């Protein structure tokens, strides 16, 4: 047996307490320096995935158009015997076969309304391509705040389709077929406006058919198709004691009701900050409707992604001239977009 004995005067292997503290301090400094870089890399990866998602969805709308000679309708909303709008299919449901989701498409029952229990399996399916990884709380279902489906837990989304330009003097938001049918001017109409049938099978004027590519006379590269949309404020309590429960206004990818799947562009900068409560509190010409029917936004620093009719995707800064963005929302307004995009 080989035994070792401590011999006085011989230095033992190891660190002193001071040396150990110095090493810990160095490691802490390196971690502090690396964390921002790691976070930045993660943010860049999430942003790249978000850009890839919206491009896939845009290309799917174009593939749908190639097969059907028209773009998928933004929202199909028929009128019953009274004045009640019946939600049916929407653009995100119609393109399912073109994002390798044929089985999910086959589960959707087109003979009943969107919120019917037959369609809950579709409304409750979480699709990664419909969700930007930078968004929050995407992995569980939530009940929308408004509409006929405000009792149905649904899967969230991160993208909405462009219905057109909104705001004075034309008040139409283009997400209701009645608004499209009675509009005094269709110059602000966008590619994913609503369509619908009135009672007894009568068509709404101007809105019975979905958009054909030849109608996009402003140019494909200048016309918004899809954009990011989120809502970062769960609740806000004002000085007056008013409570805004705004999480339920986030997109729900398969929900056809009004602004949950399609929105327009108001030329107001507050509408692209991705925060309904803040937008509403700031106020502006469009009131709260601008925040609901025109709400875009992302959690990326400084801007959000939009796709265009040529299949391209651009990161639009939140300091963009909003009149320019509104011009890009219409598909046949004849506006000149100075400096391009």
pLDDT tens by residue, 146-184: 889 999 999 999 999 999 999 887 778 899 888 887 776
Of all residues in the chain, the percent with pLDDT exceeding 70 is: 85
Name the residue with higher pLDDT: 203 or 278: 278
Q: Which of 147, 209, 155 has its CA nearest to residue 177?
A: 209
Distance in angstroms (rounded) separating the CA atoms of residues 242 and 193: 33
pLDDT at 136 over 90: no
Q: How far, in whole angstroms, is CA 43 from its chain's centroid?
A: 18
Residue 160: in which H helix or E strand, if any? strand 159-165
Model-level pTM?
0.84
Give pLDDT, residue 340: 55
pLDDT band (50, 70, 90) for residue 257: very high
Distance in angstroms (rounded) separating the CA atoms of residues 299 and 132: 9
Kindly report which listed range (73-77, 85-89, 199-203) carries the lowest average pLDDT score: 199-203
Mean pLDDT value of segment 255-268? 95
pLDDT at 248 over 90: no
Give pLDDT, residue 6: 47
Distance in angstroms (rounded) separating the CA atoms of residues 129 and 141: 16
Give pLDDT, residue 165: 95
pLDDT, one tens digit per residue, over 12-48 is 566 687 777 777 878 877 777 766 766 667 778 899 9
Name the residue with higher pLDDT: 263 or 84: 263
- DSSP codes of every residue in 286-297: THHHHHHHT---
Give pLDDT, residue 5: 46
Give pLDDT, residue 39: 64
Q: Where are the alpha helices (DSSP H) in 177-229?
A: 177-181
Name the residue with higher pLDDT: 37 or 298: 298
Which tokens in the block code for residue 251? Answer: 């997109």
Name the residue with higher pLDDT: 339 or 145: 145
Output the average pLDDT for the chain.
Answer: 87
pLDDT, one tens digit per residue, over 80-110 is 866 788 999 999 999 999 999 999 999 999 9
pLDDT at 1 over 70: no
Output b/e per residue, 255-273; b: 16+ Cβ within 10 A.
Answer: bbbbbbbbbbbbbbbbbbb
């Amino acid at each position: 047996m080989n035994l070792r004995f401590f011999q006085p005067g011989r230095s033992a292997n190891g660190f002193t307490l001071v040396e150990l503290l110095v090493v810990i301090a160095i490691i802490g400094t390196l971690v502090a320096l690396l964390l921002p870089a790691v976070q930045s890399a993660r943010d860049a990866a999430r942003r790249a995935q978000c850009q890839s998602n919206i491009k896939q969805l845009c290309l799917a709308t174009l593939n749908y158009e190639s097969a059907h000679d028209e773009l998928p309708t933004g929202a199909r909303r028929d009128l019953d015997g009274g004045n009640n709008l019946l939600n049916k299919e929407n653009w995100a449901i119609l393109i399912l076969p073109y994002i390798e989701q044929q089985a999910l498409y086959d589960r959707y029952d087109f003979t009943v309304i969107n919120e019917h229990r037959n369609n809950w399996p579709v409304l409750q399916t979480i699709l990664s391509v419909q969700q930007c990884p930078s968004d929050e709380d995407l992995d569980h279902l939530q009940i929308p705040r408004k509409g006929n489906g405000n009792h149905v837990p649904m899967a969230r989304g991160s993208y909405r389709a462009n219905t057109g330009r909104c705001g004075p003097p034309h008040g139409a938001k283009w997400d209701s077929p009645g608004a499209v049918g009675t509009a005094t001017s269709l110059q602000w109409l966008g590619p994913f406006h609503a369509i619908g049938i009135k009672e007894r099978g009568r068509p709404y004027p101007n809105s019975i058919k979905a958009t054909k590519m030849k109608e996009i006379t402003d140019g494909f590269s200048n016309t918004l198709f899809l954009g990011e949309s989120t809502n970062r404020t769960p609740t806000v309590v004002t000085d007056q004691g008013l409570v805004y429960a705004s999480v339920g206004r986030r997109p729900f990818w398969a929900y056809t009701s009004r602004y949950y799947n399609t929105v327009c562009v108001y030329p107001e900068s507050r509408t692209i900050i991705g925060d309904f409560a803040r937008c509403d509190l700031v106020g502006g010409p469009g009131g709260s409707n601008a925040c609901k029917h025109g709400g875009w936004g992302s959690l990326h620093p400084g801007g959000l992604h939009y796709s265009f009719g040529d299949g391209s995707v651009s990161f639009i800064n939140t300091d963009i001239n909003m009149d320019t963005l509104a011009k890009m929302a219409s598909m046949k307004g004849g506006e000149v977009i100075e400096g391009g995009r």
